[in-house]
């Protein structure tokens, strides 16, 4: 039976010899270096032959008579049927294919197959155009979703506002035909949420890749509650990338009870899951809460066990807030009374409207007081300054309220009030500087605190000498009302200034002393060598200090960038310097992150998992929407 079948196949091959091998086979030598087709040569058996042989089959337009074109693949050209669009693996079976699968088209003229070829090309163009349009629509969907996340807006804004607005604008400018193309952009609630998750995942992966490549990294962390009352742990990281220091959100995760053990376990799990190393963590910045920085089992204690060389920094903003809240009893009484006056008017809508009308009638510069809350302690300066400016209007409005009127008519009370308005405004300016200190270093923070402490002593001397120009509001009131402050008022002011100085020294003094031996980081061109420095590092410091070109660039560069620029030539010095410069000096990024979280997770979106939306809102990494789309490519379709 097998012999009979083999005999039949041989007869069939012999009968159709002229049409079976329509795709002729030629031996072509390909030049490996140029990639161009060489002259035809006979096969070579030389072992030293540098060229390789590749079989290339050429298409003849005459093959269209059998209903075949080619697949336009120059690397691996194959015949393609113009009727079924099937691509054959064996180039010699053209006649067999047309006779077995399309026998009713066997005797068709070549014009028939030419029309089929045109139909096939047309359908290919339509499909290609359709795919390109939908790829562009998906890409636009990613870009719009990124903007929605950056703005912290609800996901539904895509189909409720953004897409209709684009359609209106395009229709007005270009016509309805283009509007139909715009309608292809998928912007449903679920689609936008999915795009945000995908881009946040990409941004996180990119951040982890950078941190893994960084020799050192540092952390700042804080926890707070969202609108749902759920505790959220927020962690930022600072790392070295492309010869510069960068900082970004590492993660935001919900926690249940906020204990030191839970907070550390969440951080530790994330560090290990992402392939980061604790030994590369050289700094951690927190506030002064017991769970964060207690002596025995706090988060900081647990981190230092994993990375003994890490430097803990108590947030400078938190320390400055603790210093500012310390007040002598007489000033506390003045502050509390002022707050009661403001809140009596401000917290009652009717009272606030009546007071506004009074201010408008009297032509006052301001028409309302500023509300004070204990949480926003920085507002004290502005609140008290506004109360001083509107004290006459407030006195008129509160006529009959004996407990408040007596205070507002007491010049000693007003003198203390004006001083508090001035000193809190000055402390607010210091706080604003510290908020921007993430771009600075711990030495710059210490310089500003040290200068402020010296100013406090200067102001105390001025007050004792009867000079009031250091406090603008106080001086204005004294001049306008021809008032001479009594001794007890001046003594109270002097005491408060001394108290502030002592508190600053208590919170910052020890840290300043520790870093005093590292002044060579701020000025590596000094003549004195630190005694605690290793011999190798001392040699590098001598070489660096005598480099004139580096001395010129030192004055033009920010301190951290300078040390990063010399890391290759002075590795020992760089390692010592960057361990001090890289740690955060404040937890301001966490505070700003919580503010962003509040704007995203509102009472109308209180079920939202905020982590991915928050990452895209605050990250400094530029998201590559094309890369995200390619990574998450699925079958492209026009539906939403």
Residue-wise pLDDT for 376-390, tens only, equals 445 667 778 888 887
The model's pLDDT over 434-461, given as tens digits with 9 standing for 90+, comes to 887 556 789 999 999 999 999 999 999 9
Checking if the pLDDT of 35 tops 80, the result is no
Calpha distance 617→603 (Å, rounded): 19
Strands (E), 168-303: 217-225, 231-240, 245-255, 281-286
Rounded Cα distance between 19 and 576, Å, is 80
Span 390-418, pLDDT tens digits: 787 778 777 766 677 888 888 999 999 99
**pLDDT for the residue numbered 20:** 39
How remote is the C-alpha of 63 from its chain's centroid?
Answer: 60
> What is the per-residue pLDDT across 562-606, written as a single tens digit (0 to 9) for each?
999 999 999 999 999 999 999 999 999 999 999 999 999 988 888
What is the rounded CA–CA span in Å between residue 536 and residue 543?
11
Lowest-pLDDT choice from 92-106, 213-227, 280-294, 314-328 = 92-106
In the predicted model, what is the mean pLDDT of the chain? 81
Share of the chain above pLDDT 90, in %: 45
Q: Cα–Cα distance between 337 and 417 in angstroms, integer?
A: 10
Residue 521 φ then ψ, to 5°: -65, -40
β-pair partners for 253? 233
User: Could you give the 3-state DSSP secondary structure of residue 203?
Assistant: helix
- 429: which 2 tokens? 């300016």
pTM, full prediction: 0.75
Distance CA 113, CA 83 (A): 8
* Pairing status of strand 52-57 against strand 25-30: antiparallel
Asked if pLDDT for residue 166 goes beyond 80, the answer is yes
Query: What pLDDT, on a 0 to 100 scale, did the predictor assign at position 397?
Result: 72
pLDDT(179) > 80: yes
């Amino acid at each position: 039976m097998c012999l009979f079948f083999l005999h039949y196949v041989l007869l069939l091959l012999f009968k159709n010899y002229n049409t079976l091998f329509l795709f002729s086979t030629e031996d072509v030598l390909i030049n490996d270096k140029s990639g161009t087709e060489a002259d035809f040569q006979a096969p070579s058996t030389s072992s030293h032959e540098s060229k390789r042989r590749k079989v290339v089959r050429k298409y003849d337009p005459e093959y269209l008579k059998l209903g075949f074109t080619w697949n336009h693949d120059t690397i691996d050209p194959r015949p393609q049927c113009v009727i079924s669009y099937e691509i054959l693996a064996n180039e010699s079976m053209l006649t067999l294919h047309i006779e077995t699968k399309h026998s009713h088209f066997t005797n068709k003229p070549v014009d028939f197959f030419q029309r089929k070829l045109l139909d096939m090309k047309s359908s290919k163009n339509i499909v290609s155009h359709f795919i390109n349009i939908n790829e562009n629509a998906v890409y636009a969907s990613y870009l719009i979703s990124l903007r929605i996340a950056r703005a912290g807006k609800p996901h539904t804004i895509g189909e409720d506002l953004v897409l209709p607005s684009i359609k209106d604008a395009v229709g007005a400018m270009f016509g309805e035909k283009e509007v139909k193309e715009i309608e292809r952009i998928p912007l449903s609630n679920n689609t936008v949420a999915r795009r945000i998750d995908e881009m946040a995942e990409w941004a996180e992966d990119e951040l982890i890749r950078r941190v893994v490549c960084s020799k050192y990294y540092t952390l700042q962390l804080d926890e707070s509650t969202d609108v749902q009352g759920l505790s959220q742990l927020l962690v930022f990281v600072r790392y070295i990338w492309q010869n510069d220091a960068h900082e970004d959100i590492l993660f935001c995760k919900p926690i249940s009870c906020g204990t030191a053990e839970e907070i550390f376990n969440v951080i530790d799990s994330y560090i290990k899951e992402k392939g980061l190393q604790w030994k590369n963590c050289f700094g951690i910045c927190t506030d002064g809460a017991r769970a964060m920085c207690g002596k025995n089992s706090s988060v900081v204690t647990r981190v230092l066990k994993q990375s003994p060389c890490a430097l803990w920094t108590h947030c400078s903003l938190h320390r400055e807030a603790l210093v500012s809240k310390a007040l002598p009893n007489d000033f506390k009484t003045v502050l509390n009374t002022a707050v009661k006056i403001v809140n009596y008017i401000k917290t009652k809508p009717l009272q606030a409207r009546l007071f506004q009308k009074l201010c408008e009638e009297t032509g006052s510069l301001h028409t309302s007081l500023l509300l004070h809350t204990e949480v926003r302690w920085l507002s004290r300066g502005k609140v008290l300054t506004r109360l001083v400016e509107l004290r006459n209007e407030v006195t008129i409005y509160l006529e009959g309220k004996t407990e408040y009127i007596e205070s507002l008519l007491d010049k000693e009370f007003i003198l203390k009030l004006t001083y508090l308005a001035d000193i809190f405004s000055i402390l607010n300016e210091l706080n604003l500087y510290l908020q921007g200190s993430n771009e600075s270093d711990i030495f710059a923070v210490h310089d500003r605190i040290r200068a402020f402490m010296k100013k406090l002593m200067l102001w105390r001397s001025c007050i004792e000498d009867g000079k009031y120009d250091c406090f603008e509001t106080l001086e204005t009131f004294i001049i306008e009302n021809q008032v001479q402050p009594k001794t007890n008022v001046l003594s109270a002011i002097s005491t408060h200034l001394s108290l502030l100085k002592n508190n600053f020294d208590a919170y910052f003094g020890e840290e300043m002393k520790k870093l005093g031996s590292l002044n060579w980081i701020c000025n590596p061109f000094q003549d004195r060598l630190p005694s605690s420095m290793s011999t190798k590092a001392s040699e590098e410091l001598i070489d660096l200090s005598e480099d004139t070109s580096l001395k010129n660039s030192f004055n033009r560069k920010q301190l951290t960038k300078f040390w990063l620029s010399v890391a290759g030539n002075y590795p020992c010095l760089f390692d010592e310097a960057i361990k001090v410069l890289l740690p955060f000096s404040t937890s301001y990024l966490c505070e700003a992150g919580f503010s962003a979280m509040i704007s995203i997770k509102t009472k109308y979106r209180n079920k939202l998992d905020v982590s991915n939306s928050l990452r895209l809102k605050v990250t400094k990494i530029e998201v590559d929407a094309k890369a995200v789309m390619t990574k998450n490519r699925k079958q492209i379709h026009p539906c939403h």
